[in-house]
């Protein structure tokens, strides 16, 4: 991978770095408060690497929840990744040995950057770019978690609301991509479908219906947008 592509990957990852280190520190502190030290923070962030699920797992581990319940909860919390996987089939085609890790590391924020036209503009080796971007993002999360675990052993304070950093990160990436692209259709479909499903299904059940709705709408509009691009060319 050339230096230009490496630089682009780092620049694209900066917003994620800010959020992941902050949120990772919060996770590490919370995990340590339940009796699990920095080593546990490292292992979970290295092997599980799923922000919202890791926060859920803290209480499940502390409460001695069964493996079956843990597995079902993990599936429900991360069910949206089924749709992520379907949508990156073409993006990751031909990635070779890099592909398994790129699939494993496909978090919400990395997914957003992979599909950002601005982030990958001018990149020669896109698979290498996606791989390094994924690796950088996980390194930020692991580093933040370990730092949080270490800090938690020395300082005790109220961690209420610290997980809002994830929401703030989503908003930052959304605004950045809105400004970087001329076609706001996908973003508007995402917001509209999410709000509609939130009203219909409620805050606890809207995510999967929203993802299904968004996927169907984007597939329906794909040919129209592709045709518009060809006309511009």
DSSP per-residue letters across 165-226: HHHHHHHHHHHHHHHH-S--HHHHHHHHHHHHHHHHH-TTT-HHHHHHHHHHHHHHHHHHHH
Residue count of the chain, please give it.
233
pLDDT per residue as tens digits for the range 38-57: 999 999 999 999 887 888 78
- Taking the CB of residue 100, how many other CB atoms lie within 10 A of it? 11
Instruction: Give yes or no for residue 116 having a pLDDT over 90.
Output: no
Instruction: Give yes or no for residue 209 having a pLDDT over 50.
Output: yes
- pLDDT recorded at residue 98: 94
Alpha-carbon distance 174 to 81, whole Å? 18
Answer yes or no: pTM beyond 0.75: no
- pLDDT recorded at residue 29: 87
Percent of all residues in the chain with a pLDDT value above 70, rounded to a whole number: 89
């Amino acid at each position: 991978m050339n230096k230009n592509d490496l630089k682009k990957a780092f620049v694209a990852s900066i917003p994620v770095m800010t959020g992941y280190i902050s949120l990772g520190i919060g996770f590490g502190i919370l995990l340590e408060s339940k009796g699990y030290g920095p080593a546990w923070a490292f292992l979970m962030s290295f092997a599980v690497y799923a922000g919202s699920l890791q926060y859920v797992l803290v209480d499940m581990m502390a409460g001695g929840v069964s493996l079956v319940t843990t597995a079902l909860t993990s599936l429900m919390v991360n069910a949206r990744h089924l749709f992520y996987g379907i949508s990156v089939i073409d993006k990751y085609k031909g990635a070779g040995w890099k592909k398994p890790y790129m699939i494993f590391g496909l978090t919400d924020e990395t997914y957003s950057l992979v599909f950002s036209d601005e982030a990958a503009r001018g990149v020669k080796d896109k698979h290498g770019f996606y791989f390094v971007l994924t690796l950088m993002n996980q390194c930020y999360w692991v580093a933040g978690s370990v730092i949080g675990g270490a800090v938690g052993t020395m300082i005790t304070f109220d961690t209420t609301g610290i997980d809002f950093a994830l929401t703030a990160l989503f908003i930052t990436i959304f605004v950045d991509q809105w400004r970087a692209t001329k076609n706001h259709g996908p973003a508007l479909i995402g917001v509209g479908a999410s709000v509609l499903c939130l009203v219909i299904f409620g805050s606890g059940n809207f995510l999967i219906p929203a993802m299904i709705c968004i996927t169907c709408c984007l597939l329906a509009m794909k040919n129209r947008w592709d045709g518009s691009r060809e006309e511009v060319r």
